[in-house]
Structure 1
Protein backbone atom coordinates (compact mmCIF):
# COMPACT_ATOMS: atom_id res chain seq x y z
CA UNK A 1 0.00 0.00 0.00
CA UNK A 2 1.26 3.46 -0.85
CA UNK A 3 1.10 5.66 2.22
CA UNK A 4 -0.17 9.17 1.39
CA UNK A 5 2.14 11.75 2.97
CA UNK A 6 1.00 15.13 4.31
CA UNK A 7 -2.66 14.23 3.84
CA UNK A 8 -5.18 13.53 6.62
CA UNK A 9 -5.68 9.76 6.94
CA UNK A 10 -9.20 8.40 7.30
CA UNK A 11 -10.09 6.30 10.34
CA UNK A 12 -10.44 3.25 8.06
CA UNK A 13 -6.92 3.73 6.69
CA UNK A 14 -5.57 4.33 10.21
CA UNK A 15 -7.06 0.99 11.27
CA UNK A 16 -5.57 -0.81 8.23
CA UNK A 17 -2.18 0.65 9.16
CA UNK A 18 -2.40 -0.76 12.71
CA UNK A 19 -3.33 2.36 14.68
CA UNK A 20 -5.48 1.53 17.69
CA UNK A 21 -7.25 3.65 18.63
CA UNK A 22 -7.71 5.85 15.57
CA UNK A 23 -7.44 9.63 15.94
CA UNK A 24 -9.39 12.66 14.73
CA UNK A 25 -6.34 13.83 12.77
CA UNK A 26 -3.50 11.65 11.52
CA UNK A 27 -0.86 12.34 8.88
CA UNK A 28 2.08 10.38 7.53
CA UNK A 29 5.62 11.24 6.53
CA UNK A 30 9.05 9.60 6.29
CA UNK A 31 12.20 10.03 8.41
CA UNK A 32 14.78 12.21 6.67
CA UNK A 33 18.58 12.06 6.99
CA UNK A 34 18.64 15.56 8.52
CA UNK A 35 16.52 14.28 11.43
CA UNK A 36 19.14 11.75 12.59
CA UNK A 37 21.64 12.20 15.41
CA UNK A 38 25.17 10.80 15.83
CA UNK A 39 23.71 7.46 16.96
CA UNK A 40 21.96 7.18 13.56
CA UNK A 41 18.45 7.36 14.97
CA UNK A 42 15.96 10.22 15.09
CA UNK A 43 17.04 13.00 17.44
CA UNK A 44 14.67 13.36 20.42
CA UNK A 45 14.02 17.04 19.58
CA UNK A 46 12.68 16.04 16.16
CA UNK A 47 9.75 14.17 17.75
CA UNK A 48 8.65 17.50 19.23
CA UNK A 49 8.82 19.10 15.78
CA UNK A 50 6.67 16.31 14.31
CA UNK A 51 4.13 16.70 17.11
CA UNK A 52 4.14 20.49 16.70
CA UNK A 53 3.61 20.31 12.93
CA UNK A 54 0.46 18.23 13.35
CA UNK A 55 -0.72 20.24 16.36
CA UNK A 56 -0.62 23.43 14.27
CA UNK A 57 -2.53 21.73 11.43
CA UNK A 58 -5.05 20.50 14.00
CA UNK A 59 -5.68 23.97 15.46
CA UNK A 60 -6.04 25.37 11.94
CA UNK A 61 -8.43 22.63 10.78
CA UNK A 62 -10.50 22.90 13.98
CA UNK A 63 -10.85 26.67 13.48
CA UNK A 64 -8.81 27.92 16.43
CA UNK A 65 -6.13 29.90 14.60
CA UNK A 66 -4.87 30.64 11.12
CA UNK A 67 -1.40 31.60 12.47
CA UNK A 68 -1.36 34.73 10.33
CA UNK A 69 0.28 36.92 12.99
CA UNK A 70 -2.46 39.53 12.82
CA UNK A 71 -6.11 39.90 13.62
CA UNK A 72 -7.99 38.37 16.46
CA UNK A 73 -6.76 34.78 16.41
CA UNK A 74 -5.74 33.62 19.86
CA UNK A 75 -2.21 32.82 20.88
CA UNK A 76 -2.00 29.11 21.58
CA UNK A 77 0.65 28.20 24.13
CA UNK A 78 1.68 24.93 25.75
CA UNK A 79 1.11 25.15 29.49
CA UNK A 80 2.53 21.70 30.18
CA UNK A 81 3.51 18.59 28.30
CA UNK A 82 4.93 15.14 28.77
CA UNK A 83 6.60 13.05 26.11
CA UNK A 84 7.16 9.32 26.40
CA UNK A 85 9.71 7.79 24.02
CA UNK A 86 8.90 4.11 23.51
CA UNK A 87 11.02 2.93 20.59
CA UNK A 88 13.64 4.58 18.40
CA UNK A 89 13.05 5.65 14.81
CA UNK A 90 15.53 5.23 11.97
CA UNK A 91 16.25 6.57 8.49
CA UNK A 92 13.55 6.11 5.81
CA UNK A 93 10.93 4.73 8.21
CA UNK A 94 7.39 5.79 7.40
CA UNK A 95 5.57 7.21 10.39
CA UNK A 96 2.15 8.56 11.33
CA UNK A 97 1.54 11.32 13.85
CA UNK A 98 -1.91 11.57 15.43
CA UNK A 99 -3.68 14.27 17.40
CA UNK A 100 -6.95 14.64 19.30
CA UNK A 101 -8.50 16.58 22.14
CA UNK A 102 -9.32 14.55 25.24
CA UNK A 103 -10.77 17.26 27.51
CA UNK A 104 -11.34 21.00 27.60
CA UNK A 105 -12.25 23.83 29.93
CA UNK A 106 -13.13 27.46 29.26
CA UNK A 107 -9.79 28.62 27.82
CA UNK A 108 -7.63 25.48 27.79
CA UNK A 109 -7.70 21.97 26.35
CA UNK A 110 -5.76 18.73 26.58
CA UNK A 111 -4.32 17.03 23.52
CA UNK A 112 -3.14 13.46 23.15
CA UNK A 113 -0.63 12.93 20.37
CA UNK A 114 1.01 9.70 19.25
CA UNK A 115 3.71 8.62 16.83
CA UNK A 116 3.29 5.29 15.04
CA UNK A 117 5.58 3.38 12.67
CA UNK A 118 4.98 -0.08 11.26
CA UNK A 119 1.85 -0.43 13.38
CA UNK A 120 3.90 0.12 16.56
CA UNK A 121 3.46 3.00 18.97
CA UNK A 122 6.85 4.75 19.11
CA UNK A 123 6.16 7.88 21.22
CA UNK A 124 3.36 9.83 22.88
CA UNK A 125 2.99 13.49 23.80
CA UNK A 126 0.24 14.69 26.12
CA UNK A 127 -0.09 18.42 26.61
CA UNK A 128 -2.35 21.17 27.90
CA UNK A 129 -2.79 24.16 25.59
CA UNK A 130 -4.02 27.56 26.75
CA UNK A 131 -5.62 30.19 24.54
CA UNK A 132 -4.57 33.80 25.11
CA UNK A 133 -5.70 37.00 23.45
CA UNK A 134 -3.62 38.13 20.45
CA UNK A 135 -1.57 40.46 22.66
CA UNK A 136 -1.10 37.76 25.31
CA UNK A 137 -2.64 39.92 28.04
CA UNK A 138 -5.64 37.74 28.92
CA UNK A 139 -7.21 34.33 28.49
CA UNK A 140 -9.26 33.71 25.34
CA UNK A 141 -12.38 31.51 25.54
CA UNK A 142 -12.61 28.48 23.27
CA UNK A 143 -15.26 29.29 20.62
CA UNK A 144 -18.52 27.31 20.87
CA UNK A 145 -18.05 25.77 17.40
CA UNK A 146 -14.65 24.41 18.45
CA UNK A 147 -16.03 23.10 21.74
CA UNK A 148 -18.79 21.30 19.80
CA UNK A 149 -16.19 19.80 17.44
CA UNK A 150 -14.08 18.63 20.38
CA UNK A 151 -17.11 16.67 21.59
CA UNK A 152 -18.51 15.45 18.25
CA UNK A 153 -15.28 14.62 16.38
CA UNK A 154 -12.71 13.99 19.11
CA UNK A 155 -14.97 12.47 21.76
CA UNK A 156 -13.59 14.94 24.31
CA UNK A 157 -15.40 15.93 27.47
CA UNK A 158 -15.73 19.23 29.24
CA UNK A 159 -13.99 19.39 32.58
CA UNK A 160 -15.37 21.56 35.31
CA UNK A 161 -12.91 24.27 36.19
CA UNK A 162 -11.33 24.30 39.62
CA UNK A 163 -11.52 27.64 41.41
CA UNK A 164 -8.96 30.01 39.85
CA UNK A 165 -8.23 27.67 36.89
CA UNK A 166 -9.76 28.19 33.44
Structure 2
Protein backbone atom coordinates (compact mmCIF):
# COMPACT_ATOMS: atom_id res chain seq x y z
CA UNK A 1 0.00 0.00 0.00
CA UNK A 2 1.06 3.58 -0.23
CA UNK A 3 0.31 6.65 1.82
CA UNK A 4 -0.14 10.19 0.44
CA UNK A 5 0.56 13.40 2.33
CA UNK A 6 0.22 16.86 0.77
CA UNK A 7 2.06 20.11 1.46
CA UNK A 8 1.42 23.56 0.02
CA UNK A 9 4.67 25.41 -0.81
CA UNK A 10 5.07 28.44 1.43
CA UNK A 11 7.11 31.51 0.47
CA UNK A 12 9.61 30.69 3.23
CA UNK A 13 10.22 27.25 1.64
CA UNK A 14 11.88 28.85 -1.40
CA UNK A 15 15.57 29.37 -2.11
CA UNK A 16 17.22 32.43 -3.67
CA UNK A 17 16.21 31.19 -7.14
CA UNK A 18 12.51 31.09 -6.05
CA UNK A 19 12.40 27.29 -6.25
CA UNK A 20 11.59 24.92 -3.42
CA UNK A 21 14.79 24.66 -1.38
CA UNK A 22 16.46 21.24 -1.55
CA UNK A 23 16.38 20.93 2.24
CA UNK A 24 12.61 21.43 2.23
CA UNK A 25 12.13 18.37 0.00
CA UNK A 26 13.67 16.37 2.85
CA UNK A 27 11.44 18.13 5.39
CA UNK A 28 8.32 17.28 3.34
CA UNK A 29 9.46 13.66 3.11
CA UNK A 30 10.08 13.61 6.87
CA UNK A 31 6.59 14.92 7.64
CA UNK A 32 5.00 12.36 5.28
CA UNK A 33 7.18 9.50 6.60
CA UNK A 34 6.28 10.24 10.23
CA UNK A 35 2.55 10.48 9.43
CA UNK A 36 2.76 7.20 7.47
CA UNK A 37 4.57 5.36 10.27
CA UNK A 38 2.10 6.69 12.84
CA UNK A 39 -0.70 5.22 10.76
CA UNK A 40 1.10 1.86 10.39
CA UNK A 41 2.38 1.69 13.96
CA UNK A 42 0.24 3.92 16.21
CA UNK A 43 2.48 3.21 19.22
CA UNK A 44 5.50 4.73 17.41
CA UNK A 45 6.23 8.17 18.90
CA UNK A 46 9.29 9.76 17.29
CA UNK A 47 9.06 12.78 19.57
CA UNK A 48 9.50 10.69 22.73
CA UNK A 49 11.64 7.61 22.00
CA UNK A 50 12.75 7.52 25.64
CA UNK A 51 9.24 6.31 26.56
CA UNK A 52 10.04 3.02 24.86
CA UNK A 53 13.31 1.10 24.95
CA UNK A 54 13.01 0.48 21.18
CA UNK A 55 12.89 3.19 18.54
CA UNK A 56 13.80 3.95 14.96
CA UNK A 57 16.75 6.00 13.77
CA UNK A 58 16.75 7.70 10.35
CA UNK A 59 20.06 6.42 9.00
CA UNK A 60 20.16 7.23 5.28
CA UNK A 61 18.35 9.30 2.69
CA UNK A 62 18.65 9.38 -1.07
CA UNK A 63 16.82 11.98 -3.19
CA UNK A 64 16.72 12.43 -6.96
CA UNK A 65 15.51 15.92 -7.79
CA UNK A 66 13.55 15.81 -11.06
CA UNK A 67 11.80 19.15 -11.52
CA UNK A 68 11.66 22.52 -9.74
CA UNK A 69 8.74 23.34 -7.47
CA UNK A 70 7.36 26.86 -7.11
CA UNK A 71 5.49 28.98 -4.59
CA UNK A 72 1.91 27.92 -3.78
CA UNK A 73 2.09 24.61 -5.66
CA UNK A 74 0.68 21.58 -3.87
CA UNK A 75 3.17 18.74 -3.47
CA UNK A 76 1.82 15.21 -2.97
CA UNK A 77 4.32 12.96 -1.18
CA UNK A 78 3.59 9.27 -1.66
CA UNK A 79 5.32 6.85 0.73
CA UNK A 80 5.51 3.08 0.70
CA UNK A 81 7.52 0.41 2.47
CA UNK A 82 10.39 -1.02 0.45
CA UNK A 83 13.00 -3.57 1.48
CA UNK A 84 12.54 -4.93 5.04
CA UNK A 85 15.57 -6.50 6.72
CA UNK A 86 16.39 -7.88 10.16
CA UNK A 87 17.12 -4.50 11.75
CA UNK A 88 16.19 -1.93 9.09
CA UNK A 89 13.71 -1.03 6.39
CA UNK A 90 13.29 1.44 3.55
CA UNK A 91 10.55 3.99 3.16
CA UNK A 92 10.34 4.87 -0.53
CA UNK A 93 8.77 8.07 -1.74
CA UNK A 94 7.95 10.18 -4.72
CA UNK A 95 6.82 13.77 -4.81
CA UNK A 96 4.51 15.13 -7.47
CA UNK A 97 2.88 18.38 -8.41
CA UNK A 98 -0.23 17.21 -10.24
CA UNK A 99 1.16 14.42 -12.45
CA UNK A 100 4.67 15.94 -12.72
CA UNK A 101 7.35 13.99 -10.82
CA UNK A 102 9.45 16.51 -8.87
CA UNK A 103 11.53 14.15 -6.69
CA UNK A 104 11.89 10.49 -5.75
CA UNK A 105 14.01 8.50 -3.37
CA UNK A 106 14.07 6.58 -0.13
CA UNK A 107 15.06 6.71 3.50
CA UNK A 108 16.44 3.87 5.61
CA UNK A 109 15.29 3.48 9.19
CA UNK A 110 17.20 1.31 11.63
CA UNK A 111 15.91 -0.26 14.81
CA UNK A 112 17.56 1.28 17.87
CA UNK A 113 17.73 0.18 21.51
CA UNK A 114 17.78 3.41 23.54
CA UNK A 115 18.73 1.61 26.76
CA UNK A 116 21.80 0.05 25.12
CA UNK A 117 22.40 2.96 22.70
CA UNK A 118 22.92 0.47 19.87
CA UNK A 119 21.28 -0.78 16.69
CA UNK A 120 18.71 -3.50 17.35
CA UNK A 121 16.62 -6.01 15.46
CA UNK A 122 13.14 -4.92 14.50
CA UNK A 123 10.60 -6.55 16.82
CA UNK A 124 8.87 -9.47 15.08
CA UNK A 125 5.46 -7.76 15.22
CA UNK A 126 6.84 -4.60 13.59
CA UNK A 127 8.79 -6.51 10.93
CA UNK A 128 5.71 -8.59 10.07
CA UNK A 129 3.55 -5.44 9.78
CA UNK A 130 6.13 -3.78 7.52
CA UNK A 131 6.49 -6.89 5.35
CA UNK A 132 2.70 -7.09 4.96
CA UNK A 133 2.60 -3.41 3.99
CA UNK A 134 5.43 -3.88 1.49
CA UNK A 135 3.56 -6.80 -0.11
CA UNK A 136 0.20 -4.99 -0.36
CA UNK A 137 -0.82 -3.59 -3.76
CA UNK A 138 -0.23 0.14 -4.26
CA UNK A 139 -2.96 2.73 -4.53
CA UNK A 140 -3.16 3.88 -8.16
> What's the TM-score, normalizing by structure 2?
0.84
> Which residue, 16, 23, 29 being the options, matches 1:45?
23
Structure ranking higher in strand proportion:
2
Deviation per CA, 1:44-69, whole angstroms, max 9, x where unpaired?
Answer: 11001001111112222222621224
Whether 2:108 is the aligned partner of 1:128: answer: yes
Partner of residue 91 from structure 1, selected from 71, 85, 101: 71
Q: Deviations over 1:104-134 (max 9, x none)?
A: 1111011211111111111012222111112
Find 1:107's aligned residue among 77, 82, 87: 87
State the 1:135 CA deviation. Answer: 3.8
The number of residues matched between the two structures is 134
Q: State the distance in 2 between where 1:123 and 1:136 align.
A: 36
Q: Which runs of 5+ in 2 are unaligned?
A: none
- 1:20-67 per-residue CA deviation (whole Å, 9 max, x = no partner) reads xxx521111211111011111111110010011111122222226212
Q: Once the 2 structures are TM-superposed, how far is the Cα of residue 74 of structure 1 from its aligned partner?
A: 2.8
CA distance in 2, matches of 1:91, 1:84: 20
Any unmatched runs of 5+ in structure 1?
1-22, 157-166
The two structures have a TM-score, normalised by structure 1, of 0.72
1:66 aligns with 2:36: no
- C-alpha RMSD of matched pairs (Å): 2.0
* Larger radius of gyration between Structure 1 and Structure 2: 1
Matched, 1:144 2:111: no
